[in-house]
Structure 1
Amino acid sequence: MNEHNNAVIHQVQHLENNLGDPTQETSVINFARSVTIDEQQMFPREYLNHLHSLNYFDRFVPHSLGGSLSDFSELLMACRLVSRRDLNAAIASGQTMLGALPVWLCGSDAQKKRLSSHILQGHLGCLALTEKKHGSNLLASEVTATVDQDGYRLNGEKWLINNATQGHTMTLLVRKIEPNGRESLAVMLLDKAQLSDYESIEKISTHGIRCADISGIRFHNTLVAKDCLIETTEPGIFGVLKALQISRILCAGFSLGAFDTCLRVTYEFAQNRALYQKTVLSMPTVQQGLGRSFAKLLLAEMLATASIRAVSHASRSLSMYSAACKYWVPRQTELALDELKVILGARYYLREEHFHGIFQKMLRDNAVVSLFDGSSQVNLGLISAQTNAISAQLLATPNCHEQLNQWFNLDESKPFAALDQQQFAINNAGQDPILSSFLAYFGDSSHNHLPPSVMTQCLILKQHILSWCDDVQTLQQSEQNEPTSVVRFNKAKQYTTLLSAACCALFIIHNETHPLLGNADIATDLLSLALNDDDMWQPSKALLEALDDQNQQHKLFSLFPISLAK
């Protein structure tokens, strides 16, 4: 493990220890309190203040601006640790990072300094994009910023904005109108304490994350200063789209945290509950469900880890990876929780009793993850629009990425360079370094070091990728080649599965001595599940033992060595 990666693990472990055991009411953030405030729909101010006291908000500010952000992998893991306790607090604080990303990418030095000061003080922020009439169609945004001699006059309404009322700062997408009538989409950084002539739209009740401030803002000829405008050499919307490429991957931390807690409480139940003169855990179908969930959690972690590391290793390819991660991780979490709730039985539905009813809360809260930062449909559309170019390049010239080992070796970690919008791109331009590297790696038969069962699964995956490429290319001659067609969306879904399987294979290849990935049976389990998740899949004894071992040793269900707080 290199020095930087060791420091990342140390910082994450330090946060976990300071957060305390969420099953104990002596911890500030605990399951009993979370369920109570959720029932009362109370904004988790106490939780957020506690996170600020632990310097959690420092992780949202780049090191160069006085914060501690230098590796997005650490932020992903930190978000996961907060999320396993309470998604309300994790999402409210995460929204602050979402609002900051366009500023870190495109803002002036003065704007960056101003925002970093707010965040380091624990002030919440938000990204105000959506409007009731237009939903995720950002290009149709109607909130206007008309040039005025004293600055800009804002008019219009933003809706379904997390932290819109509780947030101190707001990063706002507007339609800027010049004196000559010319219009363009632009982004502004607002300090709400400096504004007048606006009103907050009251909190909107939601099925999950009930404590969250899902509200909005309405502008009435509101005057803002000229220096609120984030001026860039590219269209303003580009900075937002590039920021979302990072935030969509970080959203995986929400699902991974909820997934960990739901698997843990279900495993504890199955281990201790006796039915028909034996424990629930001893039943083959229960072992299958728990083993499948554990394997899916590891697969989701690998896709999220590979994607977030791409910020440092392949930032110009994030448009595909972020969309795939944002679709696949929440979706697999939802499927796994549906299986776990069958094992948990009636207790999954209770709002008290078993672990204070945290399972049903996590189930509801996690459902929102697939909706924000671009819904599943939006992300599949982003993928679908690029599959023609990606498949053509994969069939033509697959090449291994020059930093592949550092990218996929879990003992390695690389901090990002200073965030700059020029490092990112709106689309992949036909490049997919992960699938390309996988195909190039298996371009010959000189891989005898892989166990036969693992090699078999990798060759099956190779064939699936090539078949997918052929199918996509053939579709171009079809009437169903429209990016939003059912067939193209299906190919986009298949892409996310192939990408997750390829990430799994590359992590296995580059971590031969890892206690889980270095085990041939576990590695085979993971690849076979990624390729064919059907009702006949069964976990190996080794996978079930690994699950039990991590539970017994009070470890995070993870490939990383994180001990849970006691």
Structure 2
Amino acid sequence: MTALLSPAAELDHRLGDPRDPANPHGFAAAVRRDALSGRPEALIEACRGLALSFVPAAEGGTLSTMDETLALVRMAARRDVTVMPHTMFSITAATCVLLAGTPDQRRRVVELLAQGHAIGFALSEPEHGSDLLANGCLLEPHPDGFLLTGDKWMVGLGERARALVLVGRTGGRGAGAFTAVLLDDVDRARAGNAVTSGMKGVDFTAFAFAGEVVPADAVVGQTGHGLEIAMKAMQVVRTMSTGANLAAADTGLRVTLDFAVRHVVAGRPVVEHERNRRELGTAAAALLACDVVATACARGMHTNPAGQSLWSSVAKKVCTDLSEEVFRRCTDVLGTRALLADSPFDVMRRDNAVVRHIDTGPTANLRLVAAHLAGRATDTTPPETAFTLDRPLPPLDLHGLGLSTRGRDEVTQSLPEVAAAMRTVLADDRALDLLHRLEKALTDQSGDPLDRAERFCFLHAAAACAHLWWFNLDRSLFGTPPGDTGWLVATLALLLDRAHRVEDRLRTEDANPVLDAVLALHATGRLFSATPLPLAEGGTPA
């Protein structure tokens, strides 16, 4: 356990063993709540600190580093994914205000968060979905500011929100036609809640406005900058949303391993059958790849905020796709048990599926990546600090966030230099071959823009795995000895396959080492992560 991430381990031990049926913060309690569409009240109270964990200390928050916050989110949400929206759905609205609001607006938002209140973010509209430039909710000129008319929907925690940040049309064309406003009195505008198949107990609320007066001093930032502010804020949201994917997939795989190690078929434990080992090894590689890209993205918020418009979109794509693959692979091992109502597996699977469509939908997210790839700028400087896990990070600077990298990507564009260095120490022929294939794949510019963007996301993730291995060569990763290539081979093989739309299981020789690594973490009660923090299941940490 590193000193940097120890608060997450402390939180997990304070919440207790989630396998304990009597634990109000455990799996059994989450299953019961899901059946009743209930809120995790005790868990929300125990994790109230998450509400300020993304707010810089200078603004009154508790943020240390974004990777520490990501680890805290994982520890809470691995028990019940819905605790994340209940404590952190205000992140988009609050970040908008922290980015562009007046001192009074920033103080107001932080006060609301500190008091445990929610702040909704009203951007999407039922008639337009991800086509944001078509949005029609109007902020028309009025002697006292604006008249607000129109509908918003799917506002997370909107039923309980004390305030809203709303992005409405103020005139003009393109992105400059929209302005963000901070609304304090929204009770009368609520217009019902949507019901989702996952994340039960989390309200997604519609709002209908019919000529409400919005004072001029409610504007967040400058008139016409609403979408720009929102797009920057959603980079932070996309980064943190990976915590929900990681948490759900960790529990899904952990529950499956509980079964596979204990249950015997044909005289052998399920985990010892070759086909199951390949399924579980592939699931393990998928989860470890998610861990790498999410951790790098969180650390990159500090080291390269201007690049997060791309990195966060890549992380969103990779973590949503591969976390769903974890559940598919595990379902085939669990069989009918994957559908049992008294298991957390199906609850986690359904909650994880909702994350895919929160903040930025799949197609809109790929369009963001495609827009970056249309640029011609380059940056071949290896992102050493972002990937060196024990390297101190600079303070978070939200104002460093940008809207486009214009084609720059340190992770992929510096790979040739890092790969050349890796070849001087690598003795694993399989790893060397996969590294060569990765470099070659990154030169492929074929396909339509969205196909190319999808391929790029997985190649970026593969390059991230190479960087993590190289910049931590003297450090244990995923509980394996320093310099171990088992996890590296498995993640590279998986990500290269997914980049080329190959959905096969890993070959046995690639699956076995990564599965053995994850089984060791499972047996000792540790997080499935490059920094395998001790969990409550493992007893009191040393």
Common fold, TM-score beyond 0.5? yes
Distance 2:263 2:521 in 1: 19
SS at match of 2:424: coil
**Preserved CA contact (<8 Å) 1:101 1:243:** yes
Q: 2:83 matched to which residue of 1?
A: 89
**Preserved CA contact (<8 Å) 2:418 2:470:** no
**Preserved CA contact (<8 Å) 2:164 2:182:** yes
Matched, 1:450 2:426: yes
Distance 1:446 1:205 in 2: 50
Name stretches of at least 5 consecutive residues in structure 2 with no aligned partner: 498-502, 538-542
Distance 2:4 2:424 in 1: 34
The CA deviation string for residues 232-279 of structure 1, in whole angstroms up to 9 with x for no partner, is 387221010111112112111110000000000000001111122221
Distance 1:49 1:341 in 2: 32
The aligned runs of 1:512-551 (5 Å cut-off) are 512-515=473-476, 516=480, 518-532=483-497, 534-535=504-505, 537-538=507-508, 539=510, 541-551=512-522
Q: 2:540 matched to which residue of 1?
A: none
Distance 1:513 1:149 in 2: 65
**Preserved CA contact (<8 Å) 2:412 2:460:** yes
Matched, 1:412 2:382: no
SS at match of 2:167: strand
**Preserved CA contact (<8 Å) 2:238 2:316:** yes
Distance 1:225 1:58 in 2: 27
**Preserved CA contact (<8 Å) 1:400 1:441:** no
**Preserved CA contact (<8 Å) 1:187 1:230:** yes
Q: 2:470 matched to which residue of 1?
A: 509
The CA deviation string for residues 304-349 of structure 1, in whole angstroms up to 9 with x for no partner, is 1112222112211222211111111111111221110010110111
Q: 1:12 matched to which residue of 2?
A: 8
The partner residue of 1:557 within 505, 512, 528 is 528
The aligned runs of 1:188-203 (5 Å cut-off) are 188-192=181-185, 195=186, 198-203=188-193
The partner residue of 2:107 within 98, 102, 113 is 113
SS at match of 1:227: helix
**Preserved CA contact (<8 Å) 1:307 1:322:** yes
Distance 1:496 1:446 in 2: 22
Deviates more, 1:524-533 or 1:210-219: 524-533
Distance 1:142 1:540 in 2: 51
**Preserved CA contact (<8 Å) 1:28 1:50:** no
Shift of 1:511: 1.0
Distance 1:334 1:207 in 2: 15
* Counterpart residue type for residue 375 of structure 1: G
Matched, 1:385 2:371: yes
Shift of 1:540: 5.1
Q: 1:480 matched to which residue of 2?
A: none
**Preserved CA contact (<8 Å) 2:278 2:505:** no
Shift of 1:62: 1.6
**Preserved CA contact (<8 Å) 2:77 2:83:** yes
Deviates more, 1:556-565 or 1:231-240: 231-240
**Preserved CA contact (<8 Å) 1:61 1:119:** no
Shift of 1:537: 2.0
SS at match of 1:174: strand
Q: 1:481 matched to which residue of 2?
A: none
Distance 2:261 2:532 in 1: 23
Shift of 1:561: 3.1
* Counterpart residue type for residue 450 of structure 1: L
SS at match of 2:147: strand
The aligned runs of 1:348-387 (5 Å cut-off) are 348-352=338-342, 357-387=343-373
The CA deviation string for residues 459-496 of structure 1, in whole angstroms up to 9 with x for no partner, is 22111112x24x3xxx6xxxxxxxxxxx3221111101
* Counterpart residue type for residue 253 of structure 2: L
SS at match of 2:148: strand
**Preserved CA contact (<8 Å) 2:306 2:402:** yes
Distance 1:523 1:121 in 2: 44
Distance 2:94 2:67 in 1: 17
**Preserved CA contact (<8 Å) 2:297 2:315:** yes
**Preserved CA contact (<8 Å) 1:20 1:27:** yes
Distance 2:10 2:518 in 1: 23
SS at match of 2:177: strand
Matched, 1:150 2:140: no
**Preserved CA contact (<8 Å) 1:522 1:542:** yes
Matched, 1:224 2:201: no
**Preserved CA contact (<8 Å) 1:256 1:301:** yes
**Preserved CA contact (<8 Å) 2:418 2:467:** no
Superposition TM-score, scaled by structure 1 size = 0.88
The CA deviation string for residues 504-562 of structure 1, in whole angstroms up to 9 with x for no partner, is 00001111123336212332222222223623522354323211211111001111131
Question: What is the aligned residue count?
Answer: 523
SS at match of 1:23: coil
1:139/1:554 CA distance change after superposition, 3 Å: same
The aligned runs of 1:434-449 (5 Å cut-off) are 434-442=411-419, 447-449=423-425
**Preserved CA contact (<8 Å) 1:155 1:222:** yes
* Counterpart residue type for residue 388 of structure 2: N
Distance 1:536 1:212 in 2: 37
**Preserved CA contact (<8 Å) 1:311 1:416:** no
Distance 1:247 1:519 in 2: 33
**Preserved CA contact (<8 Å) 1:154 1:222:** yes
Distance 1:123 1:28 in 2: 22
Matched, 1:167 2:144: no
The aligned runs of 1:299-310 (5 Å cut-off) are 299-310=289-300
**Preserved CA contact (<8 Å) 2:165 2:180:** yes
Shift of 1:415: 4.0
Deviates more, 1:43-52 or 1:122-131: 43-52
Q: 1:49 matched to which residue of 2?
A: 45
The partner residue of 2:380 within 387, 390, 399 is 399
The CA deviation string for residues 23-45 of structure 1, in whole angstroms up to 9 with x for no partner, is 22443322222122211122334
Matched, 1:60 2:54: yes
* Counterpart residue type for residue 438 of structure 2: L
Superposition TM-score, scaled by structure 2 size = 0.91
1:411/1:282 CA distance change after superposition, 3 Å: same
Distance 1:50 1:127 in 2: 24
Deviates more, 1:261-270 or 1:130-139: 130-139
Shift of 1:224: 3.1
The CA deviation string for residues 195-219 of structure 1, in whole angstroms up to 9 with x for no partner, is 56x3312222111112110121112
**Preserved CA contact (<8 Å) 2:373 2:406:** no
The CA deviation string for residues 17-66 of structure 1, in whole angstroms up to 9 with x for no partner, is 222222224433222221222111223344323322xx232313220122
Matched, 1:461 2:438: yes
RMSD: 2.2
Distance 1:315 1:336 in 2: 30
**Preserved CA contact (<8 Å) 1:172 1:190:** yes
* Counterpart residue type for residue 544 of structure 1: L
1:185/1:536 CA distance change after superposition, 3 Å: closer
